Amino acid sequence: MLGHKATRLLVGLSAAIAVLGMAVAAEAQEKKIKIGVIYDLTGPLAGGGSELQYIGAKIMLDQYAKTGVEGYKVEAVYADAQSKPDVAINEAVRLIEQEKVNMLLGFFSSAQCVPVAARVEQLKNFMWITTCISSAVLADKNFKYVFRPQASGDQFGMMTMDFIAQNAKEKFGKEPKDLRVAIIHEDGAYGVDVSKGNEAGAKKAGFNVVMKEGYSATAPDLSALVTKLKRARPDVIFHTGYNPDITLFGRQAREQGLKFAALVGHGAGYGVYEKLKEGLGGDVNYVFNTDPISIWLANQKSMDPKLPPVIKMVGEEFDKAKPGVAIRSAHVGMAASNTYLFLTDVLPRAIKKYGGVDPDALRKAALEVDIPEGGTMLGFGVKFHGEGQQMAGQNERSFPVVIQYIDDKSYVVWPKSQAQREAVLPLPKGTTFSNQ
């Protein structure tokens, strides 16, 4: 009887040890980083570029899900912000608290980024912003755990003003002070921020700002805005919007006979050429857009040699996801490049040097990023403003470029160091909006 009990005890102990051992082994095998990915997959922002950003990030995350990073498995958990800031906040909190993700990645809309960044910082989690550009996300916040390799909104606004200022005399035959410019923008965090950059750039260039106005991106009618533009007679219109407000504006501008010499957009809806073409037809010809450079237009000769094959892979994967697209949107490459940067630079350093993937390890690793110009697929370098600085967490080496859509192709036209061709300025005679 005693022997029988001893045998049962031995078997029980052995089983317990075995289970414990398996658990330890499983833990050793289950080294992984769980990344919460948030973009808008439904709602108006999805078609305005957010879905393309999601595709770009997913292509990269899928690649690294196959290989892992430094022995860590990469697992992505996707969530849909539904084009609503409140949903974005709830999803961010859900991913952190319930899904137990190690970090968050993504975010298209600045209106979502501003509150989500504050919430993530409060929860001491790590946030890697691939897309949204509003300066308000980081300015004077001194966040420790929020990082953005992307250029900021005021840089977008300053860049386009600089582009027109440098071309005013040669292309328009006018001194900057005689050039009439109008700034119109959607009135969310994104549009307001870019317009501030526009305003600062216009002041610096000495332009005559004849009109500056915001509007709701969901407004069903923009005819009063167009009438005011007709009265103000601007040479150049600087526009920041999502979609479908951009196509509504373009359509009503045509119907009401608005004339100008150039239309300069600032990312978001202006970065989705297919939709612009579908909504505006030939009127999209010669429109300018400002965005980080499309990875397919970036100068590969001055780029880190390991990057061109990655660009090729992203292109092939995107073509499988969206066959028959005339111009691959810059949105795809933007998210792919910024996700790649995290997976190949920040994450390996966090694991190797700081021993894991907790928010502090990721933060320390991000603060040590030091990539020179040409070191990313987007052409720019990466170094983040450190703690205590006005834009802590913002990449100080990023810059957007100005591209122009000409005959179903896009060309970088500014800055000159990246330019692929001369800008067509002003709009050629005979085009719908030409004021010549």
Q: 310: how many CB neighbours lie within 10 A of its CB?
A: 19
From the list 250-258, 332-340, 405-413, 415-423, the region that binds another protein by CB under 8 A is 250-258
From the list 16-24, 36-44, 96-104, 306-314, the region that binds another protein by CB under 8 A is 36-44
Residues 137/114, Cβ–Cβ less than 8 Å: yes
- Give the nearest distance from C-beta 212 to another protein in angstroms: 10
**Number of amino acids touching another protein (CB under 8 A):** 39
From the list 7-15, 129-137, 219-227, 354-362, the region that binds another protein by CB under 8 A is 219-227
83/130 with CB nearer another protein: 83
- Which of 33, 35, 36, 47 is the binder for another protein (CB under 8 A)? 47
φ, ψ for residue 266 (rounded to 5)?
Answer: -130, 75
- Which of 224, 352, 387, 428 is the binder for another protein (CB under 8 A)? 224
Regarding 372 and contact with another protein (CB under 8 A), the answer is no
* Distance separating alpha carbons of residues 367 and 395, to the nearest angstrom: 10
Alpha-helical runs (H) found in 30-184: 44-45, 51-67, 85-97, 110-122, 153-167
Regarding 139 and contact with another protein (CB under 8 A), the answer is no
Q: If 0-12 CB within 10 Å is exposed, 13-18 middle and 19+ buried, where does residue 115 land? A: middle
- Give the nearest distance from C-beta 319 to another protein in angstroms: 17
Residues 272/329, Cβ–Cβ less than 8 Å: yes
Q: Within 149-188, which residues bind another protein (CB under 8 A)?
A: 187
Site mask, another protein, residues 74-113, x = CB under 8 A? ---------x------------------------------
From the list 137-145, 209-217, 305-313, 349-357, the region that binds another protein by CB under 8 A is 209-217
From the list 11-19, 137-145, 243-251, 374-382, the region that binds another protein by CB under 8 A is 243-251
- Which of 216, 299, 390, 417 is the binder for another protein (CB under 8 A)? 216
From the list 94-102, 153-161, 168-176, 224-232, the region that binds another protein by CB under 8 A is 224-232
CB burial of 252-261 (b: ≥16 within 10 Å; e: otherwise) equals bbeeeebbbb
Which token pair is 284?
């999209």
- Give the nearest distance from C-beta 221 to another protein in angstroms: 5
* Distance separating alpha carbons of residues 316 and 137, to the nearest angstrom: 33
- Which of 42, 90, 142, 389 is the binder for another protein (CB under 8 A)? 42
Regarding 278 and contact with another protein (CB under 8 A), the answer is yes
Q: Within 311-350, which residues bind another protein (CB under 8 A)?
A: none
30/278 with CB nearer another protein: 278
Q: Within 375-394, which residues bind another protein (CB under 8 A)?
A: none
Regarding 221 and contact with another protein (CB under 8 A), the answer is yes
Start-to-end C-alpha separation, the chain = 108
Residues 81/38, Cβ–Cβ less than 8 Å: yes
Regarding 228 and contact with another protein (CB under 8 A), the answer is yes
- Give the nearest distance from C-beta 248 to another protein in angstroms: 7
CB burial of 127-145 (b: ≥16 within 10 Å; e: otherwise) equals bbbbbbbbbbbbbebebbb
Which token pair is 30?
């289950």
275/385 with CB nearer another protein: 275
- Alpha-carbon distances, residue 340 vs 70, 90, 156, 288 (angstroms): 15, 26, 23, 27
* Distance separating alpha carbons of residues 76 and 33, to the nearest angstrom: 8
Q: Within 255-274, which residues bind another protein (CB under 8 A)?
A: 255-257
* Distance separating alpha carbons of residues 307 and 317, to the nearest angstrom: 15
- Which of 131, 243, 294, 418 is the binder for another protein (CB under 8 A)? 243
Regarding 279 and contact with another protein (CB under 8 A), the answer is yes
Regarding 215 and contact with another protein (CB under 8 A), the answer is yes
40/345 with CB nearer another protein: 40
Regarding 114 and contact with another protein (CB under 8 A), the answer is no
DSSP 172-205: I-S-GGG-EEEEEEESSHHHHHHHHHHHHHHHHH
- Alpha-carbon distances, residue 167 vs 103, 160, 220, 299 (angstroms): 44, 11, 35, 23
Residues 199/181, Cβ–Cβ less than 8 Å: no
* Distance separating alpha carbons of residues 71 and 29, to the nearest angstrom: 9
Residues in contact with another protein by CB under 8 A are 41-44, 46-47, 51, 83, 187, 213-216, 218-225, 227-228, 230-231, 243-244, 247-248, 251-252, 254-257, 275, 278-279, 281
